[in-house]
Amino acid sequence: MKNQAASIRDSSSDDNQHEAWFYTADADRSVQCHLCAHQCRIADGKYGICQVRQNIGGTLYTLVYGKIISGGVDPVEKKPLFHFFPGSRAYSIATPGCNFRCEWCQNWQISQMPREEHIIRGSPATPQEIVAAARATGCRSIAYTYTEPTIFSEYAYDVGRLANEAGIANIYVTNGYMSETMLSVFASILDAANVDLKAFRDETYRRYVGARLEPVLDSMKTMKRMGIWLEVTTLVIPGLNDDPAELRDAAAFVATELGPDTPWHISRFYPGYRMLDRLPTPLKTLRMAAEIGLEEGLKYIYIGNALEAGSEDTHCPNCGRSLIERRGYQIVRNDLRDGRCPKCGALIAGVWE
C-alpha cells in the first residue's frame, strides 16, 4: 500500500505519541492496521491512508488523540438524527483527518488537513473535559462528527465510556468504513449512528471517494444487528448518484437489510470543494427519490438541505398523522406520547425520552 512520503507535523503538541488500537506488527517492523476496511499495511515511518496513524519503529500511533479541531453544541437533528431524542442537544467534537477523500466534502478544510497540508492542528482536551463540557451545556449526547470518527476511535472510546457512565449517549456520524473488529469493541458504548451512504455503485466509491461500497453496507448491517439505533443519509448529487435505478437499489437495501423503520435522509447537494462543476440538486429529483423510497417500503423519509415545507416532519406510517413538525433543525411541535401516535396508538420506531 502506497503512503505519502511527506512528514506530517503536529502543530498543537510535541507529545503526539499515543499508541493505536486494532493493529498487528510484523517482524520487519511493518504493521497492519485493522481499524477500518482499508486494512492498511504501513512500513516503518509511514502513514495509513487516513494520514493520522503512523508506524514508528514497529508500533502504530494515533496522532490525533485529544486534539479537537472542531467542537460545540448542536441540535441532534443536525447530525441528522430525527428518531433519537428529538429536540435534544448533542455536544459535537472532531479531530483532523479522514479515511475517505470525497470530492464534495463540506468539511474538507479539517478532514483533508493531514493529507493536503501535512499538518495536524487541534486544541488539547481530555476525555474528562469533553464529558464535563457536555454535562455543563445540558447535552443529552456526545456526537463524534464533522470528520470521520473512526480515525480517532481510541479517543472516542475513552470519551464515550465516561459519557455512558454519566448517563450521556454516544452518536457516530460516519462514512461506515470501520471494521467489524472495531465495531465489536464499540458496541457496548455506541447508542446511535447516522451513516452516509454516498452512492450505491462500487465504481462511484472507488473513483470519487477512494473506497469500496461493500464494507459500508456490511457495517450498517452489523450496527443494526448490534442494536445501535441507525439512520441513513444519501447526498443526491446530479450526474453522480441520482439515477432512479441506483436510488431504488439504495432504498431497497435500507428497507430489506436494515428494516423499513430505518429513517432515510435524502439530502440536497450544493457545489463545494473539488466538485464545483455541478448545480444544486433539483427539488424534483429529491421528491422522486422520496417517492422511490416509499415504493420500496420505507416508512420514514426526509428531504434535507432543501427548505421544502413538511419534508422533515415525522408522520405516523399507520394513520398518516403529523407527529413531529420541524423547521430547519428546530422542533416546532412534538405530539408523540410514549413513542406512540396519539391518534391510532401505533408505535413509532426510535429512541424517545
3 state SS of 245: helix
Residue 105 structural domain: 67-334
Tell me, yes or no, whether 191 and 149 share the same domain.
yes
Tell me, yes or no, whether 80 and 174 share the same domain.
yes
Say what the pLDDT of residue 10 is. 56
Whether pLDDT at 9 is above 70 = no
CA 237 to CA 37: how far, in whole Å? 24
Q: How far is CA 30 from CA 1, 44, 152, 230, in A?
A: 11, 5, 21, 36
Tell me, yes or no, whether 86 and 209 share the same domain.
yes
Cα 296 off chain centre by: 24
Tell me, yes or no, whether 85 and 145 share the same domain.
yes
Tell me, yes or no, whether 51 and 117 share the same domain.
no
Q: Among the three residues 32, 62, 92, which one is the final residue of a domain in this structure?
A: 62
Query: For strand 229-236 and strand 301-304, is the pairing parallel, antiparallel, or unpaired?
Result: unpaired
DSSP string, 81-96: -SSBSTT-EEEEEE-S
Note whether residue 228 is domain-resident. Answer: yes
Tell me, yes or no, whether 246 and 277 share the same domain.
yes
DSSP string, 108-127: HHHHSHHHHT-EE--EE--H
Closest by CA position to 45, among listed 7, 98, 16, 10? 7
> pLDDT digits over 201-234, tens only?
999 999 999 999 999 999 999 999 999 999 999 9
Supply the CATH number for residue 288's domain. Answer: 3.20.20.70
Note whether residue 3 is domain-resident. Answer: no
> pLDDT digits over 31-68, tens only?
999 999 999 999 999 999 999 999 999 999 999 999 99
Round to the nearest angstrom and report the end-to-end CA distance of the chain.
47
> pLDDT digits over 250-262, tens only?
999 999 999 999 9
Tell me, yes or no, whether 49 and 149 share the same domain.
no
CA 267 to CA 194: how far, in whole Å? 13
Q: How far is CA 15 from CA 19, 56, 253, in A?
A: 12, 14, 45
Mark out the alpha helices in the chain (DSSP H runs): 108-111, 113-116, 127-136, 153-165, 180-186, 202-204, 214-225, 244-253, 283-295
Note whether residue 351 is domain-resident. Answer: no
Closest by CA position to 104, among listed 242, 275, 280? 275
How many domains, in total, are found in the chain?
Answer: 2
Note whether residue 345 is domain-resident. Answer: no
Tell me, yes or no, whether 54 and 91 share the same domain.
no
Tell me, yes or no, whether 14 and 75 share the same domain.
no
- Contact predicate 64/155, CB 8 Å: yes
Residues 263-275, mean pLDDT to the nearest whole number: 97
Tell me, yes or no, whether 73 and 209 share the same domain.
yes
CA 152 to CA 35: how far, in whole Å? 10
Phi, psi of 187 (to 5 degrees): -55, -30
Tell me, yes or no, whether 180 and 194 share the same domain.
yes
2 against 17, higher pLDDT: 17
Whether the model pTM is above 0.75: yes
Tell me, yes or no, whether 74 and 215 share the same domain.
yes
